[in-house]
Structure 1
Amino acid sequence: MSIFHSVCEKVPMETEYPNQTAVSHFVLEGLMYTAEHPRLFFLLFLLIYTVTVTGNLLILITVGSDPHLRSPMYHFLGHLSFLDACLSTVTVPKVMAGLLTPAGRLISFEGCAVQLYCFHFLASTECFLYTVMAYDRYLAICQPLHYPVAMNRRVCAGLAAITWATGAVHSAIHTSLTFRLLYCGPHLIAYFFCDIPPVLQLACADTTINELVMLANIGIVGVGCLSLIVVSYVFIVAAVLRMRTAEGRRRAFSTCTAHLTVVLLYYLPPVCIYLQPRSAGAGAGAPAVFYTMVTPMLNPFIYTLRNKEVKRALRRLLCHSSRECQAGSPPP
Structure 2
Amino acid sequence: MVQIGYTLMSEQTPARQLVDYAAAAERIGFDYAVISDHYFPWVEEMGHSPYAWSVLGAVAQATTRLPLMTYVTCPIMRYHPAVVAQKAATMGVLSEGRFTLGLGAGENLNEHVIGKGWPAVDTRHRMFAEAVQIIRQLFSGDYITYQGEYYNVDSAKLYDLPDEQVPIGIAASGGRSARIAAEHGDVLVVNDPMPEVVTQFQAAGGEGKPVYGQLPIAYDRDAEVAEQRAHQLWRWAAVGGWKVMAELPGPVNFAAAAGSVRPEDVAQSVPCGNDVDAVVRAVRKFADAGYTHVALVQIGADQQQPFFEWAEKDLMPALRGL
Taking CA–CA contacts closer than 8 Å with sequence separation of 6 or more, which of the two structures ends up with the larger relative contact order?
Answer: 1
Of Structure 1 and Structure 2, which has the larger fraction of its residues in helix?
Answer: 1
> Into which bin does the TM-score normalised by the smaller protein fall?
under 0.3
Structure number with greater Rg is: 1
TM-score, length-scaled by structure 1: 0.23
